[in-house]
Amino acid sequence: MSIEFDAPKPVANAQFVLKTVAEEMMRPNSRYFDEHEHEIPWDYIEFMHSAMKAMGGNSLAPREPSPSSPPPEDERHRDDGGKRPPIGYQLIAAQMEALSWGDVGLYHCLPGGGLGAAAVHAAGSPEQREKFLARFHGDKPTFAAMCITEAGAGSDNSAIRTRATLDEKTKEWVINGEKIFVTGGDKSFTEYEKLGRGFIVVWASIDPAAGRAGMRAFVVEGGTPGVRVVKLEHKMGIRVSDTAAISLVDARVPFENILGSPTVDQNPTGFKKAMATFDATRPLVAATGVGVARAAFEFLKERLAEREIHIRYGLPRQKLTSIERDVIDMEIMLKSAWLMVIKAVWMADNKKPNALEASMSKVRSGDICTKITQKVVEMLGPLGYSREFLAEKWMRDAKITDIYEGTGQINRLVVARQILGYSGAELR
């Protein structure tokens, strides 16, 4: 179920290390960190940071090389004339699927830029990318997060009420508002001794009357006065990953930390650039869902094999048992979701518009992830519902795939608009 390509040696080494980590470090600790919500897995974080650094840097955070820096070692001796397509997001998707198979909550604790870095990469200037993204390849594990959701602005991001006002005297942005459900918000903003200085990317309006045209994203450095984590959510799944509420009261941000134009015009480019973040990250979230679903599916097949129940592929459907039909249906769902992820990230790597494919992959993964994990619990019977197996945990972890980074309903709207050619105002 992993992406296969002719990978350079450092990439192949990374895949082997991540598979080993998923099997030997993440899976054995799944239950512990599920039962000890909000306990930070320092050993895992520090090990993964050291491992990724030894393999050439944090491949799960976009890298923006300096114009004067030499190409990576594995790119210097290419014999294809430089025509090989990039594999950045394809590689990240494969890594995220493998690590989520180990434990999707622990995956979310992996040092890296996450959505915050993705926003800088999508909407930031070359100078901003070099300034903020380089820290994820430094000496300390570092995190970043995206702050979008508010109490009155969930799926409708254009309803955000957080306000950013320019102080003309100091040339600083003054931000006021409150964000909720920020994945990794605590590790990204709170300064621990063991962490590098992370940041959060806060969506705010510089002109509420302008609607979406006034929407901008701001990089807010960890430890900025006036910003604090006010709550950590208790959740059904991915419990080791912190989900924070963050308050901003007269928080001052340097003028140059705005992603996009500091002025409002009739064309909402700031909002569109920020939204472009999701075209790259929604397929990656879908990849995590595939990883969870694969974990549950493979466990079910192992249990069936122990009882000498084997799937007779190739027979007409009417000659199969109910169990065989269910297993084959789950496998079809799993593979179809993964193929949709591959297409979406391939398009992202090759700079092709992929809003449709990104949302389709997210819808499909959220759908099959919940269905497969629920069916596995059902087929395992009482033991599947018990805490003896991880099946019930996978079912709880799975549901978030259909909710964050755009709910299944919202992504279905995006798909419909793309196919039918309607605007957001025309089809809601």
Q: What is the pLDDT of residues 56-79, one digit of tens each?
A: 666 556 555 433 333 344 443 444
Instruction: Give residue 57's pLDDT.
Output: 60
**Bridge partners of 175?**
164, 251
Report the pLDDT value the prediction gives residue 62, as an integer from 0 to 100: 56
Q: What are the helix (H) ranges across 55-165? A: 88-107, 114-123, 126-133
**CATH class name, domain 271-420:** mainly alpha
pLDDT at 191: 72
Tens digit of pLDDT for each residue in 188-205? Answer: 998 766 788 899 999 999
Indicate where the chain has its CATH 2.40.110.10 domain(s).
Answer: 144-266
Give the number of other CB atoms < 10 A from CB of residue 309: 13
For residue 235, pLDDT over 70 is answered with: yes
pLDDT, residue 14, reads 66
Distance CA 397, CA 376 (A): 14
Structure tokens at 250: 């007269």
The band of 408, judged by pLDDT with boundaries at 50, 70 and 90, is very high
The three-class DSSP label of residue 58 is coil
Answer whether residue 81 shows pLDDT above 70: no
What average pLDDT does range 349-374 have in this prediction? 96
Class of domain 144-266: mainly beta
Q: What is the mean pLDDT of the chain?
A: 87
Sign for the CA dihedral angle at 412, 418, 420, 424 comes to: positive
Q: How far is CA 49 from CA 26, 42, 54, 125, 136, in A?
A: 15, 10, 9, 27, 9
Q: Say how far apart CA 204 and CA 190 lie, in whole Å.
A: 21
Q: Over 70: is that where the pLDDT of 402 sits?
A: yes
- What pLDDT shows up at residue 72? 42
Instruction: Give residue 8's pLDDT.
Output: 44
Q: Which of 2, 1, 50, 48 is nearest to 29 (CA)?
A: 48
Query: Do 173 and 258 touch, CB atoms closer than 8 A?
Result: yes
The 10 Å Cβ neighbour count of residue 162 is 20
pLDDT per position as a tens digit, 254-280: 999 999 889 887 555 656 666 777 888
User: Kind and range of the H or E element at 164?
Assistant: strand 163-167
Q: Determine contact, residues 102/22, Cβ cutoff 8 Å.
A: yes
Virtual CA dihedral for 165, 170, 172, 178, nearest 10 degrees? Answer: -60
pLDDT at 73: 42
Active site residue 302: no
pTM for the full model? 0.88
Pick the catalytic residue from 46, 64, 405, 426.
Answer: 405
Instruction: Supply 362's token pair.
Output: 């997210």
Residues of the chain above pLDDT 70, percent: 86
Beta bridge partners of 228: 247
> Which CATH number fits the domain 9-69+83-137, given the four candidates 2.60.120.650, 1.10.357.10, 1.10.540.10, 3.30.390.10?
1.10.540.10
Task: Name which of 306, 301, 302 is nearest 323 in CA terms.
Answer: 301
In the predicted model, is pLDDT for residue 42 greater than 90?
A: yes
The continuous run of DSSP H or E covering 376 comes out as helix 355-380
Q: Determine the 3-state secondary structure of 395 from DSSP.
A: helix
What's the angle, vertex CA 265, arms to CA 261 and CA 268, rounded to 5? 75
The pLDDT, as a whole number, for residue 51 is 84
Q: What is the pLDDT of residue 270?
A: 56
- CATH 1.20.140.10 positions along the chain are 271-420
pLDDT score of 3: 39
pLDDT in tens, 297-340: 999 999 999 999 999 999 999 999 999 999 999 999 999 999 99
